[in-house]
Amino acid sequence: MQLGITIPLQKTLKLPKQSYGEPEDLFFCWEVHRVKYEGCNTLVAVNANNRFGIVMSGIKASEWKNLPKLVEEGIEAGMYMEGFSMKEIDAYFNIAGPPVLTKTHGRKPVAGLNKAIEYMYYVPESLDKQRKFQAAHCWRMNRDICSPSGFEDYNEPKDFFRSDMERIGIIKNNKIIKFPIQ
């Protein structure tokens, strides 16, 4: 799995320049950025193929040092929130392979990241300061109608993500359970 980190995040974390990484199915690539949101350093990661995104906040300085683990935790929580079973989530991570930091994956995936971040500012709920994973923001972000890099039509990122899971063979017309925001 490739984690394409933005240049500002790379500078913030004082990481060396990243390579482009080996060509890979964009479904296993994520664009990762840090924004100041409601006064908190907030991590936003968006799938490069389908714009499925996660938002995490309240992250300690020591946790930023293990960015791959942090992003994986967020992706797992986002997938679980959207109704994927632990078996399906594990299958995704097994196929994706270990996380590797790389450069971002092109203009359209980065534009999707920027659009997801912009959309966050319209979410009426405030950050949940008691939790890292921001369920309300993720839920709303994944219901924004878009046309991501891996698809030609318009739909919600959660539906595009499910289509990718079917395309890869992890699920077969699986019924996704929807969890209400509390």
pTM for this prediction: 0.91
Tokens coding 137: 């923001």
Q: Which residues contact 175 (CB under 8 A, 6 or more apart)?
A: 83
- pLDDT at residue number 174: 52
Per-residue pLDDT of the chain (182 residues; tens, 9 = 90+): 999 999 999 999 999 888 888 888 999 999 999 999 999 999 999 999 999 999 999 999 899 999 999 999 999 999 999 999 999 999 999 999 999 999 999 999 999 999 999 999 999 999 999 999 999 999 999 999 999 999 999 999 999 999 999 999 999 875 544 434 44
- pLDDT at residue number 172: 85
